[in-house]
């Protein structure tokens, strides 16, 4: 019973992501979500108490690989540049294999009037910048990057081109390899530093 409950809950989250990708956040309604799951709205409320709770679960799902990436980097004791390539490449590959999730990537502005969602998405992005900054700082300390490199600024450059490339990829109907484009840009940045 519990296993099927959890499967249904994840299925609802995935359907919500698909609806957001197709119709935007404004198109996400409990009625539309219940219809996509072929359940009643009442059954939907057995899993989530509100639309806001569904949106928060979607945001959690968006960031759910972040800790796994960090743990993998730590467990494998990767060199900073290798860790950056792994982390950025992993996310790019995940997004390439699940394009709908990228609808969440640039959604901060959508949440400006929903403080819980805004805080949650901001925390994910701040955590990503902190993770990248720590890798870059380690790289500076090991001599992989010059001392002039400002870790947080460089992390934001990486994050910025990643988000911009996602936007371009989506606008061009996914007609290029997201992972290849992002990793080649990262390689170019490494050559500058």
pLDDT of residue 193 exceeding 70: yes
Same domain, 171 and 111: yes
pLDDT tens figures, 137-158: 999 999 999 999 999 999 999 9
Task: Report the C-alpha gap between 83 and 69 in whole angstroms.
Answer: 9
Same domain, 152 and 92: yes
User: Could you give the number of structural domains in the chain?
Assistant: 2
Same domain, 124 and 150: yes
Confidence of residue 1 (pLDDT cuts 50, 70, 90): very low
Give the percent of the chain with pLDDT over 90: 84
Confidence of residue 6 (pLDDT cuts 50, 70, 90): low
Residue 33 near residue 14 (C-beta atoms within 8 A): no
Which residue range is the domain that position 17 belongs to?
2-55
Q: How far apart are the first and last CA of the chain?
A: 54
Return the CATH number at 9.
1.10.10.60
Confidence of residue 108 (pLDDT cuts 50, 70, 90): confident
Beta strands in 93-190 (DSSP E): none
- What pLDDT is stored for residue 162 in this prediction? 95
């Amino acid at each position: 019973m519990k296993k099927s409950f959890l499967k249904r809950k994840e299925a609802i989250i995935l359907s919500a992501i698909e609806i957001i990708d197709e119709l935007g956040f404004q198109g996400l309604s409990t009625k539309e979500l219940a219809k996509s799951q072929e359940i009643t709205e009442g059954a939907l409320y057995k899993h989530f108490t509100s639309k806001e709770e569904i949106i928060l679960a979607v945001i959690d799902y968006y960031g759910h690989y972040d800790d796994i990436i960090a743990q993998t980097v730590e467990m494998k004791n990767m060199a900073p540049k290798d860790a950056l390539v792994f982390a950025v490449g992993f996310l790019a590959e995940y997004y390439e294999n699940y394009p709908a999730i990228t609808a969440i990537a640039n959604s901060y502005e959508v949440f400006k009037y929903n403080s819980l969602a805004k805080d949650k998405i901001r925390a994910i992005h701040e955590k990503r910048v902190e993770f990248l900054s720590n890798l870059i700082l380690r790289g500076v300390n090991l001599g992989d990057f010059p001392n002039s490199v400002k870790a947080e600024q460089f992390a934001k450059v990486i994050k910025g081109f990643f988000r911009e490339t996602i936007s371009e990829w989506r606008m061009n109907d996914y007609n290029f390899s997201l992972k290849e484009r992002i990793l080649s840009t990262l390689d170019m940045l490494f050559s500058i530093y």
